[in-house]
Amino acid sequence: MLTSGSRDPAVLPRLLLTLLAIALLWPGIHYSELDLSVLIASDSRSEMGRFVSAFWPPAHDETFIELLLQATLQTLAIATAGMALALLLAIPASLLASRALSLSAASRAGRPSYWGQLLRWPVRGLLIFLRSVPEIVWALLFVRAVGLGPTAGVLAIAITYSGMLGKVYAEIFESVDQRPAHTLLQSGSGRLAAFCYGILPNVSAELLSYTVYRWECAIRASVVMGFVGAGGLGQQMDLSLRMFAGGEVASLLLTFLVLVLLADQLSRLLRWRLT
């Protein structure tokens, strides 16, 4: 307990860190041209008021509900198909990029293998490249290549998310206790068997939780990519915004909220089943 005459030795470091954070934050605010006074200007407030008031009541006529259902199913299909393709690349890439099943790591010497690194680093470089380009950029490229429609969204999600999933999977494999897998490798077991019995049981819940979270992110991404012509709820929302149909936009936003809530509940259920 500090007395009244004592001084906290961490005061000066905290003050310096706070000043450093402000010094780094100020140029960012300046170059982003952030001006919050625009939100409280009379013209902006009246325009936002008219826009928000058009949201009620949400559109619920039979024709629009049919379009909404079709767009929702298309969004789910884009996210699910994109994730499936991403997993086909991410799973083998994560095993190659991780040292969890390295024979040199399992040996007593523990020296890094030259041939293992020769294969591991190019795979890691590929994963970095795949996730470094945002999915919206890939979607723009694929719209030019394959035309408008959900195919561009599926391919964009598959490429970007394969890099994300591969990186995180490799880190999860390396973060778990390696001794069971190394014992199996030293006993003459194959790498696949060592992975299935020594690593996978300990990381299955974390892998599943992250995969479902990424699927939820893929749903959001598919909505954003719809604004560039990749189909789904995003494309329908773009059309509704262009026509100033506030009720339709409200229905689309509510549908999107329901999708995210369902994905969150699915993640909770799967984690509960595995624990």
> pLDDT tens-digit profile of 150-202?
888 899 999 999 999 999 998 888 887 777 777 777 777 777 777 777 777 88
**1 assigned to some structural domain:** no
**157 assigned to some structural domain:** yes
Give the pTM. Answer: 0.75
What average pLDDT does range 88-102 have in this prediction? 81
**48 assigned to some structural domain:** no
**177 assigned to some structural domain:** yes
**37 assigned to some structural domain:** no
> In total, how many domains does the chain have?
1
Alpha-helical segments (H) within the chain: 11-31, 42-53, 62-97, 103-106, 114-132, 135-146, 150-175, 179-186, 191-194, 200-225, 232-242, 246-274
**27 assigned to some structural domain:** no
Residue for token pair 């299935």? 196
Give the residue with greater pLDDT, 9 vs 261. Answer: 261
Residue 263's pLDDT band (boundaries 50, 70, 90)?
Answer: confident
**7 assigned to some structural domain:** no
pLDDT of 24 reads 79
pLDDT of 179 reads 77
The CATH number that applies at residue 82 is 1.10.3720.10
Give me the torsion for CA of 255, 257, 263, 268, rounded to 10°: -140
